Amino acid sequence: MKALEKDRNLRYQHASEMRADLQRLKRDTDASRSAIPSAGSAQRDSSASGRVPSLGVPSTSGIAASSDSEIAVGLLARHKKTLLTVIAVVLLAIAGLGFGTYRW
């Protein structure tokens, strides 16, 4: 919310300020996660066999993703129909422009 303030004096003045707040937020959320372990998370942690989640973003398998590529694969898997529709529309637009240019 601080980054979206209308008054520019209340917003972050430097990227280092935002970075410090994000690091503080990550530290606080990591501390709260480790302080209150639930039975479900304990079971998931034992089944993950030592994997350490980087940002806690769930992947398609339900275990936290540990890399950007796993996050990207998860997003592609969830939005496959939309992605294929966009690709089809772009290809049809390119084909239409090519045919129009050829006929002109």
The segment with the largest mean pLDDT, out of 15-19, 30-34, 36-40, is 15-19
CA atoms within 13 A on the CB side of 104: 6
* Residues 39-89: tens digit of each pLDDT: 444 444 444 444 444 444 444 444 554 678 788 888 888 888 888 999 999
CA atoms within 13 A on the CB side of 63: 16
> What is the number of domains present in the chain?
1
Domain of 62 in residue numbering reads as 2-103
Distant-in-sequence, close-in-space partners of 48: CB < 8 Å, separation ≥ 6: 63, 64
Residue 31 to residue 34: CA distance in whole angstroms: 5
Cα dihedral across residues 13, 17, 18, 19: positive or negative: positive
CB 60 within 8 A of CB 74: yes
Distant-in-sequence, close-in-space partners of 61: CB < 8 Å, separation ≥ 6: none
At residue 3 the predicted structure's pLDDT band, cuts being 50, 70 and 90, is: confident
Task: Provide the pLDDT for residue 92.
Answer: 96
CB 33 within 8 A of CB 53: no
Mean pLDDT for the chain? 76
